């Protein structure tokens, strides 16, 4: 199976659920234009390495198997992928997606204290399967764009 983008999602305000959009535009060392979690001069240094988040559709399917109805963006992922085992990629790997390139900086992230999914099911895939990246080359990403591991 070819690795592709299933959906791209943003949130305009922090603390709100992300929602699918037709495309996202990434800027180098910034993240997604128009997304509340893009890096700016006020972003603490400790969070500058988490500009764009990715999650595999296969990971979401694990949670769906527990009876949950889940949509793109429900895990606050910016890019929902299909056909690539994101969690097995090493930190430092470069992904070419659409016109952009992303460098993996972190795998997994603890859920915040009021994570609704963890509260309902007792588990969440983001702490072990979510991937965080910085933008090394800006560009547009759309659903159905191919994903290549460059390095």
- For the chain, the residue count is 151
CA dihedral 132, 134, 137, 142 (to 10 degrees): 30
What region, left, alpha or beta, does residue 122 occupy, with left being phi > 0 and alpha being psi -120 to 50 degrees? left
**Helix H or strand E segment including 81:** strand 79-82
What's the pLDDT at 44?
A: 84
Sheet of 31-32, strands arranged across: 31-32, 24-27, 139-141
Question: What pLDDT, on a 0 to 100 scale, did the predictor assign at position 127?
Answer: 67
- Residue 32 burial (10 A CB sphere; 0-12, 13-18, 19+): buried
Compute how many other C-beta atoms are within 10 angstroms of the C-beta atom of residue 140: 15
Angle at 19 between CA 21 and CA 16, to 5 degrees: 140
Mean pLDDT, 10 residues at a time, the chain of 151 residues: 95 84 97 92 86 94 86 90 95 97 88 59 71 96 97 78
- Domain tally, the chain: 1
Domain membership of residue 113 as a residue range = 4-149
Instruction: List all residues 6 or more positions away from 22 whose beta carbon is below 8 Å from its beta carbon.
Output: 8, 142, 143
Question: In this structure, how many other beta carbons lie within 10 angstroms of the beta carbon of residue 10?
Answer: 19
Please state the pTM of the whole predicted model.
0.90
Per-residue pLDDT at 66: 83
DSSP state of 149: E
CATH number of residue 39's parent domain: 2.40.33.20
């Amino acid at each position: 199976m070819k690795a592709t983008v299933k959906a791209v999602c943003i949130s305009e305000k922090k603390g709100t659920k992300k929602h699918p959009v037709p495309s996202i535009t990434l800027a180098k060392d910034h993240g997604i234009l128009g997304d509340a979690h893009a890096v700016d001069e006020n972003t603490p240094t400790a969070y500058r390495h988490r500009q764009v988040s990715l999650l595999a559709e296969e990971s979401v399917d694990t949670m769906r198997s527990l009876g949950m109805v889940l949509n793109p963006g429900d895990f606050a992922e910016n890019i929902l992928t299909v056909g690539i085992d994101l969690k097995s990629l090493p930190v430092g790997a470069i992904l070419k997606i659409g016109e952009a390139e992303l460098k993996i900086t972190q795998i997994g992230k603890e859920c915040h204290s009021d994570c609704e999914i963890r509260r309902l099911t007792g588990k969440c895939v983001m702490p072990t399967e979510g991937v965080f990246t910085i933008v090394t080359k800006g560009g547009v990403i759309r659903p159905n764009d191919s994903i290549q591991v460059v390095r």
